[in-house]
Amino acid sequence: MSTSPQLVPILVRARDPRRRPRVPTAAVVRLAIHQHRIVLALAVPVLAVLTLWTRDVAAQAVAAHAQLAAGGCLSGPSAASEGCLDLVQQVQSASQAVRHLQYALVALPVLAGLFFGAPLVAREFEQGTHRLAFSQSVSPQQWLRGQLALACGAALLVGTAGAALGVWLHDAVGPAVFPGDGAFMLLPYNADGPVLAASTLLAVALGVVAGTLTRRTLAAMAAMLGLYGAAMAALTWLRQYLQPVRTLLTHHGYDLAPDDWLLRDGVQLADGHRLLYAQCGPGGCPDGAPTFEDYHTADQLWPMQWAEAGLMVLLAAAALALAHRALRRPRG
Amino acid sequence: MITTPAVQAVGLGVRRGRSEVLHDCRFRIPRGAVCGLVGPNGAGKSVLLATAAGLVAPDSGRLELLGRPVGDAANRPRIAYVDQNRSLYRQFSVQRLLRLGRDLNPGWRPDAAEEVLDAARIPVRARAGSLSGGQRTLVSLALARGKAADVLLLDEPLSDLDPLARRRTMGLLLADVAERGATLLLSSHVLADLEESIDHLLLLDHGRVRLAGPLPELLAAHRLPDPLSVPAARSAGVGAPAGSVPARAHRVDLLPGDAGPDHTEAPTLEELVLAYLHHPGAPDWISPAMRPLTPETCEAVGA
């Protein structure tokens, strides 16, 4: 006995010819990690040395200051004694050590840009290995995105580690230890916090874009130095405008805290016109006029740092977008 | 139905600085061809291959692979390229390079890549930088073959291989042509390296396509002057300087139009190529089988 054939609806999905298997981004990133594993591994001992150094310097500074306080040398009659002069010298050498460490911390972004960012793409073209990379099933742009993911990740990690060391140092060695070493001064300012982390990203990004455009490692290094220097100079000038300026009008001298940042001061004339102290004639500033001070307060430090770091991230993003665009079409 | 050609160039020009390395190149390489790309040093062979691989942008004209403009994303998995310098990451081990091929190519065929290396007993743990030139060539060819591409662009693939490795490697590549319908475009400035394997020839000279066609047709279309009449040919002003080439290769003439009774002997491939190179003024000869398909010819063939 036979049954009539039954119709069974089946769904046939036509293969979309435009859909092709894509190379996973993870594979491209894995290639980038393997390529740069040596320079990445180098970052670990460098950061370890910097950490030990920071611990040492911070301890040295705190100890020197504690001795000074214990000896009663901070104020009072014994401050000028022979023993105090010795202790003051110790504090000064600790202050030197802090300065050296801060130099090392601000050098961190420059080194990352020079030896990691600039060669990242440039060396590829210089050694011709881009031919190997670009003849796989990935586009040059997809390949670059893998490299950039690694570069940005590594730069942010290293920059954040450096920034944390800077903050550690900053907290241990505040103005209480070294009066006059305000947090807004260029050196502590650029050597800690979000600014150091973001400037590492910026330096690496500028190195990458220089390398992508010049395709020569040495030229890329030089261009990266120039670009980074210009960017830092511009941002350093700009940072005072990133937070509202506070103004103090008084009839007596300075009222600012040690960590405040005095932008400009002078006298305010009766017509509201302002004269900087330097603009007063040889006869001196007019008597009786109130003095004005434009300044940033210490609590504006971190907002200003975050704002400047944000600008750096934007600049870095623009640089990387330019590099990405440059690889859109092959160039002979 | 006409299958789209593997490679097709229409008026292709590439400049390097102020000089033109490829000039108005017109040709077509059909699917499944094993095409030798020959020409003297500096003829533009490597630039043509790099352009086809999408590494150099054409300055004028069109270059299409598998019916799509060069550099088209859909073609990436379908085209393999080995450059003249065998660019490899020197710090990578052979094993890691093979993994790169597997990771970055969706259609990766591990066995096809390993076959190329196995015969030569290349140590997979060795770093690419420590390999000899021939071994690096084999690693590059393994990467190209593992990609399972439809078109393989190989720049001087045999130049630094020993005779045994040549034979084995060519055997593997030709198997891909036979089994998978792959197309090979191989360059060499030594014709003898290719002669046994190729079925099509493309002769480049100073950036121009001088001669192109399937081998039998090429040879059948040319005749050499009778050795006895060579002095006459020379006195007619078409001869090359005496002593620089074998006397038999002194004249290029086309059949049937031009062949007189004193042109009787079929040339060898080598003689044919040398004759064209010695006569820059001789008209280019492109077989209809290797002329680009224009819309008009498409209609004509389709009708």
Burial of A210 (0-12, 13-18, 19+ CB in 10 A): buried
Task: Say if the Cβ atoms of B56 and A21 lie within 8 Å.
Answer: no
CA–CA dist B224, B275 (Å, integer): 9
Nearest to A138 among B57, B88, B104 (CB): B104
**A128/B contact by beta carbon, under 8 A:** yes
Nearest to A330 among B56, B79, B85 (CB): B56
Q: Please report, in tens digits, the pLDDT of each residue of chain A (332 residues total).
A: 556 777 766 665 555 555 566 888 999 999 999 999 999 999 999 999 999 999 999 999 888 888 888 877 777 666 667 778 888 888 888 888 998 999 999 999 999 999 999 999 999 999 999 999 999 999 999 999 999 999 999 999 999 999 999 999 988 886 556 666 678 888 888 998 999 999 999 999 999 999 999 999 999 999 999 999 999 999 999 999 999 999 888 877 667 777 888 888 888 888 888 888 888 877 777 777 888 889 999 899 999 999 999 999 999 999 999 999 999 877 65
Q: Which of B14, B73, B92 sits opposite A139 (nearest CB)?
A: B73
Strand order across the beta sheet in which A261-268 lies: A246-250, A291-296, A261-268, A274-276
DSSP code of A327?
A: T
Report the alpha-carbon distance of residue B220 to residue B216 in Å, rounded: 6
- Residue of chain B minimizing CA distance to A26: B103
Chain B residue with CA closest to A126: the answer is B87
Choose among B74, B83, B103: nearest Cβ to A20: B74
Which two structure tokens, joined as six digits, stand for B20? Answer: 């033109």
CATH of B7-212, one of 3.40.50.1370, 3.90.380.10, 3.90.650.10, 3.40.50.300: 3.40.50.300
Out of B81, B101, B103, the one facing A30 most closely (by C-beta) is B103
**Collapsing DSSP states into helix, strand and coil, what is residue B23?**
strand
| Residue A246 C-beta-side C-alpha neighbours within 13 Å | 12
Beta-bridged to residue A265, according to DSSP, are A293
Domain limits of chain B?
Answer: 7-212, 222-286
Q: Do B79 and A21 touch (CB under 8 A)?
A: no
List A residues 30-59 in contact with B (Cβ-Cβ < 8 A).
Answer: 30-31, 34-35, 38
Write out pLDDT tens, residues B16-43: 888 899 999 999 999 999 999 999 988 9
Radius of gyration, CA atoms only, chain B:
20
A21 in reach of chain B (CB within 8 A): yes
DSSP assignment of A231-281: HHHHHHHHGGGSSPPEEEEESSS----TT-EEEEEEEE-TTS-EEEGGGS-
Identify whether the C-beta of residue B213 lies closer than 8 Å to the C-beta of residue B255: no
ipTM of the complex, rounded to two decimals: 0.86
Confidence of residue B1 (pLDDT cuts 50, 70, 90): very low
Whether the CB-CB separation of A187 and A93 falls below 8 Å is answered with no
- Res B299 pLDDT > 60: no
> Chain A: nearest CA to B53, how far in angstroms?
7
Q: Nearest-CA neighbor of A122 among A131, A130, A133? A: A130
Neighbours of B111 (CB within 10 A): 9
Diameter of chain A measured on Cα atoms? 127
E strand or H helix that includes residue A126:
helix A118-127
pLDDT at residue B90 greater than cutoff 70: yes
Whether the CB of A331 is below 8 Å from some CB of chain B: the reply is: yes
Largest Cα–Cα distance of chain B, in whole Å? 64
Q: Which of B55, B79, B100 sits opposite A131 (nearest CB)?
A: B55
Average pLDDT, chain B: 84
A330:B15 CB<8 A: no
Token pair belonging to A156: 């942010």
Which tens digit of pLDDT belongs to each residue from B145-173? Answer: 999 999 999 999 998 999 999 999 999 99
Instruction: Name which of B63, B76, B108 to mutate to probe chain A: the one with the most chain A Cβ atoms within 10 A of its Cβ.
Output: B76
Least Cα separation, residue A314 to chain B (angstroms): 30
Q: Fill in the DSSP letter of residue A40.
A: H
DSSP state of A175: T
Which residue of chain A comes nearest to B88, CA vs CA? A129
Measured between CB atoms, does A136 come within 8 Å of chain B?
A: yes
Does the beta-carbon distance from A332 to B76 stay under 8 Å?
no
Nearest CA among B132, B131, B144, B56 for reference residue B100: B144
Measured between CB atoms, does A15 come within 8 Å of chain B? no
Cβ of A23 under 8 Å from any chain B Cβ?
yes
Residues listed for chain A: 332
Among the listed ranges A13-17, B108-112, B233-237, which one has the minimum average pLDDT value?
B233-237
Q: How confident is the model at residue B244 (pLDDT cuts 50, 70, 90)?
A: very low
Q: Which residue has the higher pLDDT, A177 or B184?
A: B184
Which chain A residue's Cα is nearest to B16? A332
Cβ B76–A127 below 8 Å, yes or no? no
Q: What six digits make up the tokens of B134?
A: 């021939």
Residues 206-235 of A with CB under 8 A from B: none
Does A273 touch chain B if contact means CB atoms closer than 8 Å?
no
B85 vs A128, A135, A330: nearest CB:
A128
Which pLDDT value is given to residue B226?
59
Q: CB pairs below 8 Å between A and B: how many?
A: 89
What pLDDT is stored for residue A22 in this prediction?
81
- Buried b / exposed e across B216-251, counting CB within 10 Å, b at 16+? eebbebbbbbbeeebeebbeeebbbeeeebebbbbb
Query: Which of B15, B73, B81 lies at the smallest CB-CB distance from A135?
Result: B81
